[in-house]
Structure formats: structure tokens, C-alpha cells
Amino acid sequence: MWTARGSHRWLPACAARSLKSNVFPFHEPIDLLLCIADHFEPGWGGATPDEAAQRVQRWATRYPELFRRFHDSDGISPRHTFFYPLEMYKSGEVAQLAKLCRDGFGEVEVHLHHDNDNPENLRRTLQDYCRRTHDEHGLFSHDRQRSTIRFGFAHGNWALDNSRPDGRWCGVNNELDILREAGCYADFTFPSYPSPTQTRKINSIYYAVDDPIRPKSHDSGQDVGDGPQPRDSLMLIQGPLTLNWHSPKLRVFPRIENGNLQASQPPEPYRLDLWLNARVQIKTRPDWFFVKLHTHGAVEANEKVLLGPEMVRFHEDLARRSEANPNFRYHYVTAREMYNLARAAEAGWQGSVKDARDFELILD
């Protein structure tokens, strides 16, 4: 089954990494940088406009009610990054998400499902959407000169840069270049396992350079911190992809941990250990552990986990771990802040996480 899904391309690297020593116990201080990238689709499953609006309303109401009492090592409440699908845009939905984020509970970025697209249409679609949404709702970020709207991106159907073997759900072989030119600061799509779009490169923060002829140009790239940023490259920030021996299949075969939060994969405490041991890091800050998780939070079954007792217990467990071990610090970050921290680490930043959250890109 794994071979059929292309796992032979990345599984050896995954297995090799899983053999490294665990990061526990913490003998030196470490910082967990935790980002939840939600492919947030209110219209999922053919929902009616009223059903979609109710999905957004529940998040806007219940998220602060549940999580405002929690605070990370910087005194910041849990943050959620809503990658909202531009092709499903509804002004009222985005307005509610924007208010939730202005209240300090996250940020909104760009998600896109498309099929049989072309470069000209994709470029126009991204630029028009970002400008309109920025002007109407004040979303997205800028560099410090405020010269360009910047946005984070997660591809629908995992098909970034036309990476599906059958060519569906994209159609654009130079998508990385178009994203970068339209203002994308980083892609947050991966890992995508069990999709066949899963990249050979795993557990990495890296720069990929587009090949306008060949699809899936991001299958490899240069790790951030391993040298100057390659010209015309786009940063990709991956989540964990590793072996899970906690409950092996048939008591023999490991499961795959892919950083997904959903009804069948709740945020159990043992998974945090797996995410940390995936070691998504930048070598210039070996004390920083980047953990980017993903979910589809508008789906009711997943919502019950993300806005329910299991997520509450997860935040309680983080607080207990930090209290019990002064070497463990944790930070709730948005996608933009995770990018800023990656850039800060690349630049040799030796200061605190808190002071680098706005290192390069800032909000209005």
C-alpha cells in the first residue's frame, strides 16, 4: 500500500530520521513553535449557504470561549491560521474570521482549489483576490516598506505545482513562480501523505526553484540556513512526517504520523513527542522546533475535536509540560509568524521568539 502511494520515495529518509535519539528529556532549553494551518472550507461537502455560515459562526464564537484562558511562554493565547478557499469566497464569512483574528486568535491566509487552470488566469485570480480581500477586510501582511501584499498559501487537493500524477486539480507547471510573483511568502501545503503528491523531501523548511516545464518542482530544494537564498525561490514550510510506533498495525507495522488533526487523529499527548522528534528545524537555531500541523476544521467531525475537550486537554498538557520542565518553552504562532521566525533563524537571530514574531512581515 505504501509503495502504491509513492512512499518508497520518502520512507527511507523517514525511517532513518526516526532512528535518531529522541529530544527527551530536555537537557537544554528548547522552543516549540506551534502552528495550526487549517484548510478551512465552510462550503465543504456541498453545504448550503446557511450551513456554511453556521460553521463559521461556531468557530467565531466558541474559539475565544474555549481558549482565551490559555497562554504560551510569551503570554499569548492559542492562534489558528485559517487558509480560506478563495474560490468559495463569501464576504460575511471572511468578515467573521477577520474579526476573530483581530481579537488576537489567529490570521487568515490563502487556500485555492483549481483544475485545468492556466498561468495567466492563476496570476490574475491571486492578485485580484488578495487586493480585494485586503481592501475589504484588512487581511494579509506587508514587508516593512508596505510595498506589496504578502500571503501564505496552502494548495487544495495537495496538488501544488501540478504535482498529481494524473494532472488534475491544478494544471499550472510554473505555479511556484506565479505564487512568488503574486506575493506569496511561503507554502504550507505539506506533508500530503497519503496523497501521491507527497514530496520526496520531508520534515524540512526549504527553498524550491521552479522549473516552468516540469511539474512538482518542490520535490527537492535547499534547506533554509544552508546558504544564501537561491534566486527566484519560494520557501516551503513542512509539517512532521514520521513513523508512529505507538499503536502499530497488527502489532507489527508502524503507522504514519502526518501532522493531521481530525476526528480519527486527535491531538493526543504522545503525538507531540512524534512531532518534535521529526525535527523540522533550521540549523542556525537548533533550539527551535517548528511544528506545523494541518486540519480541515470546518468539517463537523473535525470541529468536535478542534473545538472540544480533546483540544482543551492538549493545551492543558502543554502548560503542564512547561511547568514541570523549565527547559521546555512553547509558542503559539501563525503561519506568518512561523515564516518570520524561519527568516530570523536564517539570519542568525539570537534573540527571543517573542521579539522575532514580526521579524520581516508585519500586519496593518
Q: Which pTM value belongs to this model?
A: 0.94
Question: Going by C-beta distance under 8 Å and a sequence separation of 6 or more, which residues neighbour residue 309?
Answer: none
Per-residue pLDDT of 323-338, as tens digits, reads: 999 999 999 999 999 9
Determine the Cα–Cα distance for residues 122 and 172; give it in Å rounded to an integer: 8
pLDDT of residue 364: 83
- Report how far apart, in Å, the C-alpha atoms of 103 and of each of 33, 38, 68, 212 are: 21, 18, 10, 41
Closest CA to 119 of 67, 173, 46: 173
pLDDT of residue 255: 83
| Percentage of the residues of the chain whose pLDDT score is greater than 70 | 91
pLDDT of residue 23: 59
Q: Collapsing DSSP states into helix, strand and coil, what is residue 81?
A: strand
Q: Note the CATH number of domain 7-363.
A: 3.20.20
Q: What is the mean pLDDT of the chain?
A: 93
Is 60:94 a contact under the CB 8 Å cutoff?
A: no
- Ranges of residues in the chain whose predicted pLDDT is under 70: 1-26, 248-253
- Report how far apart, in Å, the C-alpha atoms of 4 and of each of 139, 194, 346 are: 41, 10, 37
Q: At what angle do helices 309-324 and 269-277 cross, to 10 degrees?
A: 60
Domain ranges of the chain: 7-363
Residue with cell 527566484: 232
Determine the Cα–Cα distance for residues 117 and 162; give it in Å rounded to an integer: 10
Question: Which grid coordinates belong to 65?
Answer: 470561549
Determine the Cα–Cα distance for residues 332 and 329; give it in Å rounded to an integer: 10
Q: Is 165 exposed, middle or buried (0-12, 13-18, 19+ CB in 10 A)?
A: exposed
pLDDT of residue 26: 63
Phi, psi of 11 (to 5 degrees): -65, -40
pLDDT of residue 244: 82
Question: Which grid coordinates belong to 131?
Answer: 487586493
